[in-house]
Amino acid sequence: MNIQKTNKVAWHFNHSYTKLPKDFFVEQLPVKVSNPKLILLNEPLLKTLGLDKEALSPDAWGNIFSGNTLPEKAKPIAEAYAGHQFGHFALLGDGRAVLLGEHINPEGNHFDIQFKGSGQTPYSRRGDGRAALGPMLREFIISEAMNALKIPTTRSLAVVTTGESVMRDEALPGAILTRVAKSHIRVGTFQFASTLNDINKLKALADYTIDRHYPECKAKDNPYLAFLNAVIERQALLISQWMHVGFIHGVMNTDNMSISGETIDYGPCAFMDRYHPETVFSSIDRQGRYAYSNQPPIAQWNLARFAETLIPLIDHNADKSIELASQSVNNFSGQFQTAWLKGMRQKLGLFNEEASDIELINELLVLMQKNKADYTLIFRHLSSDAILKDAIFKDVSFKVWYKNWLHCLHKQKEGEETSRLKMLKHNPAVIPRNYLVEKALSLAVADQDYKFLNDLIAALLKPYEDSKVFSEPPIEEDKSYKTFCGT
């Protein structure tokens, strides 16, 4: 296939990943589309990458982000990986994505530039390699909201419609998302390396990943154990941040856990409205494996699978290696609890660290569940007198809790007002509420009306500012609400 290239934009591609053994990727061009049209372009991210929006017309950008015109020096590949999907191991790979390369911005930072929905690859496993517009817009919305909340995440640079339909349960408009990440190396990438039964290839992947993401580990006495510990530490922090904002990933398979510590693959994800620890939105998670409260133990389970892949590298003595790796994985719970507790103290305006804090926090969560309270707004309302008007304040037990919490604030030297200001910085007013996301997607997909979508994204980029339109919870809880993976 002859795909035109352009050099009008200052792309600076590196292709370090292709220096790994050939098992880890295949060269793969994106498949051309009939009528690309640029729908969303993330201008702040474009600037971060050192690219000039004005260098090209919207049509030209549409051609680039559809894959019809390749940037200069792009060398697209599809990456191989494996993974446990709902506990079942499978060989996988980029079945509908290609990596253009690692773009280096003016500050010298490396970013993977990947097309999602760009056509079939050798890893497609009978899939069509395409993506529907709705799920690609969802990933754009949620990933940019997460970034605004300062939660490590892959980013969304652009969404382009293809002018072609994709068949799911029905014919849907096709689209391609351009995703930006520190890398697309996953726990599943290391699981794939283990299936090769070649320690040199496993070592090559580990050394490459350490060089790219954890160079400080090279100076340690045991670099591979230090690498494992560093990944565990980042994941403990990441999952705690998800929990702080009521985010549910929905499909925490090992191939969806990034080694860099970024949130990746926004499929059947959603944010809770009413608090309940067993909340599940994913249509394919029928057993609640990836429910809100299960995310920390599932992360630990995934990390245990990662640790298993490193056993041949951590120590020549397999028994000693297993012992060291097991200790590291077992440390996850404590690291998560520390990170979660720190964040919850911030949400409640607590500067002091008291042993009783955990009881105070858990009592609140129990009361929130009992009263079907909105997870986001309860914490937001606690920062002002708005909580006095919330329905939960009719609960006598909550009034007792509220009095105890105020007593904790008054004991602090910083003062109540400082505590409330702290809370405003750690409790968002605006999240991607399900009913708002669905309205935006419906208008965009069915009517090609993108105004509400753009307004929602603008509000999500300022999550700590109150919004009359986008801060409101749903009028009525939709208990049957489901999200879908979009493949």
Give the count of beta carbons closer than 10 Å to the beta carbon of residue 64.
26
Q: Which of 316, 434, 284, 320 is nearest to 374 (CA)?
A: 434
Give the DSSP H or E segment for 300: helix 295-314
Amino acid identity of 338? T
Collapse the DSSP code of 352 into the 3-class scheme (helix H, G, I; strand E, B; otherwise coil) and give the result: coil
Cα angle at 432 between 118 and 390, to 5 degrees? 170
Residue ranges of alpha helices (H) inside 153-294 are 187-195, 199-213, 223-245
Q: Which two tokens stand for residue 230?
A: 């560093």
Collapse the DSSP code of 422 into the 3-class scheme (helix H, G, I; strand E, B; otherwise coil) and give the result: helix
| Distance of alpha carbon 375 from alpha carbon 392, whole angstroms | 12
Please, are residues 430 and 471 in contact by the beta-carbon 8 Å criterion? yes
The beta-carbon contacts of 328-331 under 8 Å, at least 24 apart in sequence, are: 328/225, 328/228, 328/229, 328/232, 329/232, 329/300, 329/303, 329/304, 331/229, 331/232
> Does residue 265 have an active-site annotation?
no
Residue with tokens 């056509």: 119
Q: Which two tokens stand for residue 54?
A: 């004005």
Per DSSP bridges, beta strands 171-181 and 37-41 are unpaired
| Distance of alpha carbon 200 from alpha carbon 206, whole angstroms | 10
Cα angle at 109 between 145 and 155, to 5 degrees? 20
| Distance of alpha carbon 79 from alpha carbon 28, whole angstroms | 10
| Distance of alpha carbon 11 from alpha carbon 252, whole angstroms | 33
Q: Which two tokens stand for residue 38?
A: 């640029």
- Active-site position among 94, 255, 265, 285: 255
Q: Which of 149, 324, 154, 343 is nearest to 232 (CA)?
A: 324
**DSSP one-letter string for 436-469:** HHHHHHHHHHHH---HHHHHHHHHHTSTTS--TT
| Distance of alpha carbon 304 from alpha carbon 259, whole angstroms | 13
Which residues are identified as catalytic? 255
